[in-house]
Amino acid sequence: MFSLPQRPRRNRKSAALRDMLQETYVLPRHLVFPAFICANPSEVVALKSLPGQQRWLKEDLAKLAEDCLRVGVRGLALFPFIENRLKDSHGSESKNRKGLVPEAVRLLKEKYPDLIVFTDVALDPYSSDGHDGLVQQGEVLNDESLPLLADMALTQAQAGADWVCASDMMDGRIGFLRKTLDEGGYSQTNILSYSSKYASSFYGPFREALDSAPREGDKRTYQMNPANRREARRELKLDQWEGADMLMIKPALPYLDIIADYRRVSALPIAAYNVSGEYAMLKAAAERGWLEEDKAIDEVLTSIKRAGADVIFSYHALEWSKKFKPLL
């Protein structure tokens, strides 16, 4: 027999040994389930482009939260479907203390105080323009948008949100939100920054679920160029300096290198969003029998965790956790 001093296959020869030497584990507590919420029963629909997902009536969120907590998923992220009649150019509904998101947060925190509730800070669900910031003559205004975003974050914090999640990609918004929250008496409310949110082709099903696509133009003047890597590190440094408590990379799968970069240079927790298009792509292939769904989901989540994410936002969170087998 040929003499080989190193045989890596020796460490793979049995299931028990492979389990012992496994480097990366995903647990339900590492996951956050993104939920689309609505105010009216007529808006509760199954989402065709997101098989297995739906819009949730505010009053039904307690059942969803119970299902999540039962299988170990402790985080729920809320994304609102806002009626067109409530939308305007300033996204005024976003600071309504009796609006859909604040009411949903209060309901959840009253019933499940240990549930970790994440709320989204961006104008696009509330804006008649469908952009994350204030629009004037076709331009998305940066500095003028910051007070509107801060008002939204403060309203969510007042309702009891644990994390306000700045997904808008306006320059300086983390510092502006932190100052507003601190001055408003909410210094313990955490800020998650969508630090590297790319102008991706994988957001389509999400925007369909919320009817939040831009009415004109696109989001490339504020979301990042998918070709850029060094720019992500610049965004990271700024958000850390401004006071972010956790940094998000979105999407996840096409940007595993960015997740790994963040893990190497930051001591903050790192989150990654396994977005709607990634979910839909896997589901479509599984429905056609082109891959084994359960194994593919496990591989996707493991790869995101292996790259360096501490927390994963994923539409797979609930179904995957229901099938999760605790480590012995």
Q: Say how many C-beta atoms besides its own lie within 10 A of residue 113's C-beta.
A: 8
Task: Please name the amino acid found at residue 235.
Answer: E
Label residue 37 exposed, middle or buried (CB < 10 Å: 0-12, 13-18, 19+).
Answer: buried
Q: Kindly list the catalytic residues.
A: 197, 250
Kind and range of the H or E run holding 146? helix 146-159
What φ, ψ does residue 270 adopt, rounded to 5°? -115, 130
- Angle of helix 276-287 relative to helix 293-307, nearest 10 degrees? 150
Q: How many degrees, rounded to 5, is the angle at CA 274 between CA 208 and CA 78?
A: 60
3-class SS of residue 181: helix
Alpha-carbon gap, residue 209 to 48, rounded angstroms: 9
Alpha-carbon gap, residue 35 to 61, rounded angstroms: 9
